[in-house]
Structure 1
Amino acid sequence: MKRPAAPRRLHIDWTRCDGRGLCTELLPGVFDRDDWGYPLARDGSREPVIPRGDLAEARMAVNRCPRLALSLTTRS
C-alpha cells in the first residue's frame, strides 16, 4: 500500500531574508507581511504547510527569491 506524500513546508532562512515580499505576493493564502515587509505565516507556524494547490507558486517563490532565503521541505 502506497503511503501518502508528506506535506510540503516552506522554510525561510532568516539570515538571508531581507523582506522584499515576493513570497507574500506569490503565496497570499500562506503569507501575510509584517510592517517591514517580512513574511508572516498566516497559520502562525515557523514553516507553514503549503496547500497542494499552491505548490507550483511555492516552487516559483523558491526559485525567484532574490536572496535565496526559501526552500521546500517535507519535515513534519
Structure 2
Amino acid sequence: MKATVDSTKCNGYGTCAEEAPTVFQLDEWGYASVIGDGTVTDKDAACRAAEGCPERAITVHD
C-alpha cells in the first residue's frame, strides 16, 4: 500500500503529519510530502490522514 500527496492541492494544514507521522512529513513551509517512496506502515493512520485532509490532496492506494 502506498500514499501520495498532490502538491498542487496541498495548502499546508499539516493534519496528515499529525495523523500519520511515519508516512508524511512537512517541509520548511509546512507543505506535505510522503516519507521515502510512500510505503504505508500504518494503514489506519494513513487513511485517517487522507480522510482528514481539507484539500483532499492525499491518496492511499494498493
Where on the TM-score scale, by shorter chain, does this alignment land: which range? 0.7 to 0.9
1:38 deviates by 1.2
TM-score (norm 1): 0.71
Which structure has the highest strand share of the two? 2
Task: Give the paired residue count.
Answer: 62
If you compute each CA radius of gyration, which structure gives the higher value, 1 or 2?
1
Q: CA RMSD in A?
A: 1.3
Name structure 1 gaps, 5 residues minimum.
1-7
Give the counterpart of 2:45 among 57, 61, 67: 57
1:32 deviates by 2.3
- After the TM superposition, list the runs of 4 or more consecutive aligned residues in structure 1 that deviate by more than 4 angstroms: none
Name structure 2 gaps, 5 residues minimum.
none
